[in-house]
Amino acid sequence: MDPAVDLATIGTMDAPEKPTLPSNGELARIFHEIGDMLEVKGELVFKTVAYHRAADAIAHSPVEISRTYLEGKPPRIQGVGDAIAKKIEELVRTGHLAYYEKLREEVPPTLVALLEIPGIGPRTVKQLHDELGIETLEDLRRAAEIGSLRGLRGMSTKTEEGVLAGIAALESRQERMRLGQAEAIVEHLLAELADVPGLRSIQPAGSFRRRRETIGDLDLLAETDRPAELVERFTTLGSVESVIAKGPHKAAVRLLRGPQVDLMIMPPGEAGTYLIRFTGSKEHNVRLRGMARDKGWSLSEKGYLRMGEDGEPLAGAAAELRTFPTEAEAYGFLGLPFIEPELREDRGEVEAALAGELPTLVTRGDLRGDCHSHSDWSDGVHTIEQMAESARRRGYSYLVLTDHTISLAIARGLSVERVEMQRSIVAALNRRFEAEEADGTAPPETSPEGFRLLHGCELEIRADATLDYPDELLAGYDVVVASVHVSRRQSREQLTARALAGIRNPNVDIIAHPAGRNIGGRDDLDLDWDAVFAEAARTGTALELNGSDERLDLSDARARRASEFGCVFTIDSDAHRTEELDNLRWGTAMARRAWLTPEKVMNTRSRAELREWTAGKAARLGAPAAPPSGGAAAPISAGRPAT
C-alpha cells in the first residue's frame, strides 16, 4: 500500500452494505510498515521481527483474512499472536488502525526508506533524524556532501564517503535475490497455485532453474486445461502488490516486497520448447535458433515452424509446426542430446553436445557426506550431537565437525584443551552410532555403510601466513579445512602467500570458501588465482564449493577454471545449524554449473576412500601418514586417526 493512502479507503465505514475489505496483501503491507517503523524507533528486535513474520504469514494465507474476521471466525495464523490478531480485527472492522497511525506521526515514512542504504541501520537512522533532522534520501545526500555527518558521535569523513557510496549503490543496483530467497518464494507460489482446477504441472524456469548465484525476476511455466482460472488466481494472490500484465495465456505481477514474477501458460503436451526457451540464457537460445534456421526452421517457445526459401515462416496451408512434450525431444529435433539446465549459458555446451562430450554432472545424491560444519562449541547454534544426528538422518555416511580454531576469538575458536574435550565427545558418539548399527536400533534413514562423525577443524590462516595450530595437533584430526577470515585488505602477494601456506601444509586437506566472498556484502579476496589453482592441483588439496547461498564460494566460473588445472573439490554446507545442512544443494548447483563430474568431488567417496585421500597428501609431501586405529579416539600427539 502507498503510505499516503488513507486507511479508510480500504475500510467498511463508507459502504456498510457492500464493505470493501482489505486484501491479504494490503494487510501485509501495513504490518510490514509497522515493523519498519519500530526498527527506526529502536524497539527490541523480537518485536519488529514479530510484525514482519506476521505480515509474511498473512500475505501467504490461503484464506481471505478480512472476511474471516468479519464473519467472526478468524483463523489461527502461524506467527500471529493475540496482540496482532486484535490489530487485524480493528483494521478490518473500522478501516483504521490507531497504533499504525500513531507510528506514522512519530516516524516519517521516508525515514524507513533510509534502511535500504547498505551500512545504515535503525540506530543510525534515528540518530540522523534526531540530531540533524534528516528525513529523506536527499536530506542524507546533502548532509554527507557538505560534511555534516562527521560532527556526529561515531561518524567521520569515512562514514560520509560510505554513505554516498551506499546511496549510489542503492540507486544503481538491480534488486537480486539469493538462491535460498528465490526458492522460498517459488515454493510459496507453487503451494498457493497447486489446487487450481485444470492445473497439470507448474515449475520454475529462467535463471533460477539454471541456478545462477543471484536471481532477478522469477518465471513460472504451467500446463493447464483452464488457463483463465490459473491466471486469475495468480494475479489475485495475497502476496501480489501490483499486476503488471494480464492476458489469456500469461501474466506478470510484482510481489509484496519481492520480485516480478512472470507466469506463462503452456498448452498440455507441448512443454518441450517452452521449457527450453524460458530456461536457457539469451546466448544459449540464440545458438539454438541459429541451428534451427540452418535446418530450415524458426524456433520459438511455441515450437519449430518451417521456413520458406525466403527465410520467413510458411503460412496458410503450407504452415508446419512441430511441438514436443519434453525438452529431450525438442533438443533431439536439432540433433542434440538433452543439455542440463545449469549448463545453458553458451559456455561451450552446444559444442560439447554436438561432439558427444557433455559431462555427467555431479548430483546431490552422489554426495556421501559433508566436510564442513559447526556446532555450538564455536559459532554454531546446535550441539555436536544434534548436528551429527541430523546428518545421520539425512542418510550421510559421515559429517566432518569443523569448529573454528583458537585465534578466531569472535567465533569462540577452540583452545588446545577444548580440542581434547571435543575429541572425546566425538569418540563417544561414534561408539554409540556403531553399537546402534550393530544391534539394529539405528534410524532407518542411516546410510548402508553406517554413519560416523569425523573430527576436524576450520583452521585459521593468520595474517603472517602461519597456521593457528602446530602440525602435531593438526595430525590428530580426521579432516582439516583451512581458511582466511582476518586481515583481508592485505596485498595480493600477501593474501596469495597465505592461501599457498595452507595448501602446502601436509595436514590441510581442504581450503574452505577460498575467495572469502559474501555475495552483495563483501568483496572477494584479491588472490593470484592461477597460482592458487596450480598449487592446489600439485598438492592434491581440495578447493571447497561452499553451499551457503550467501557465499557460493568457489563461484562456478572459478571452479571451472580450477578444474582445468586438475584441481579436486569438496561440496560442503558450512552449516551452523541443522537446517543449513541442506546447503549442499546449492553447492551442488555451483558444481554442476562448473561442469564438475562426481570423480572431481572428494565427498562423493566413502569414508574409507576419504581417509585414504587425506592420508595420501602427507605421504606425497613426505610427512608421516597416520596408522590405522580402528576408529577409536587418538591422543592429540598421535597421527591422524583412521575412520
DSSP string covering 290-304, please? HHHHHTTEEEETTEE
**Range name among 56-60, 280-284, 442-446, 459-463 with the lowest pLDDT average:** 56-60
Average pLDDT over residues 45-70: 82
Confidence of residue 632 (pLDDT cuts 50, 70, 90): very low
**Three-state SS across 124-178?**
HHHHHHHHHCCCCHHHHHHHHHCCCHHHCCCCCHHHHHHHHHHHHHHHHCCCCEE
In a domain, 635, yes or no: no
Average pLDDT over residues 487-507: 95
| 414 & 376 share domain | yes
In a domain, 501, yes or no: yes
> Residues 163-202: pLDDT tens digits?
888 887 666 555 789 999 999 999 999 999 999 999 999 9
Residue 28 has pLDDT above 80, yes or no: yes
CA pair distance 251, 237, nearest whole angstrom: 13
| 183 & 168 share domain | no
Copy the grid coordinates of residue 270.
Answer: 507441448
- Report the pLDDT value the prediction gives residue 501, as an integer from 0 to 100: 97
- For residue 358, what are the CA distances in angstroms to 30, 347, 355, 598, 604? 51, 12, 8, 14, 20
| 370 & 341 share domain | no
More confident residue, 75 or 306: 306
- pTM, two decimal places: 0.77
- Report the pLDDT value the prediction gives residue 643, as an integer from 0 to 100: 42
397 and 606 Cβ atoms separated by less than 8 Å: yes
Compute φ and ψ for 214, nearest 5 degrees: -130, 155
| 441 & 375 share domain | yes
Q: What's the CATH code of the domain at 129?
A: 1.10.150.20
| 128 & 166 share domain | yes
List the end-to-end C-alpha distance of the chain, in Å, as a whole number: 59
| 345 & 217 share domain | no
Long-range CB contacts (< 8 A, 24+ apart) of 241-248? 241/25, 241/29
CA pair distance 261, 409, nearest whole angstrom: 43
In a domain, 339, yes or no: yes
| 330 & 375 share domain | no
- Report the pLDDT value the prediction gives residue 411, as an integer from 0 to 100: 83
593 and 342 Cβ atoms separated by less than 8 Å: yes
- Report the pLDDT value the prediction gives residue 172, as an integer from 0 to 100: 55
In a domain, 473, yes or no: yes
In a domain, 359, yes or no: no
For the chain, give the mean pLDDT.
88
| 218 & 237 share domain | yes
Residue with cell 488513507: 6
Residue 636 has pLDDT above 90, yes or no: no
In a domain, 643, yes or no: no
CA pair distance 568, 554, nearest whole angstrom: 12
Range of the domain at 349: 284-354
Q: What's the CATH code of the domain at 326?
A: 3.30.210.10
| 428 & 394 share domain | yes
Of 206, 274, 261, 257, nearest in space to 234 by CA? 261
Q: What's the CATH code of the domain at 88?
A: 1.10.150.110
Which residue among 300, 331, 354 closes a domain?
354
> Residues 359-412: pLDDT tens digits?
999 999 999 999 999 999 999 999 999 999 999 999 999 999 999 999 888 888
Average pLDDT over residues 450-469: 96
**Range name among 447-461, 513-527, 612-626 with the lowest pLDDT average:** 612-626
| 197 & 164 share domain | no
Which residue among 227, 242, 268 closes a domain?
268
* Total domains, the chain: 5
Average pLDDT over residues 511-529: 90
| 308 & 378 share domain | no
Residue 357 has pLDDT above 90, yes or no: yes
In a domain, 279, yes or no: no
In terms of DSSP H, where are the helices of 512-571? 529-539, 556-565
In terms of DSSP H, where are the helices of 8-44? 24-41
| 118 & 102 share domain | no
In a domain, 274, yes or no: no
> Residues 550-592: pLDDT tens digits?
999 999 999 999 999 999 999 999 999 999 999 999 999 999 9
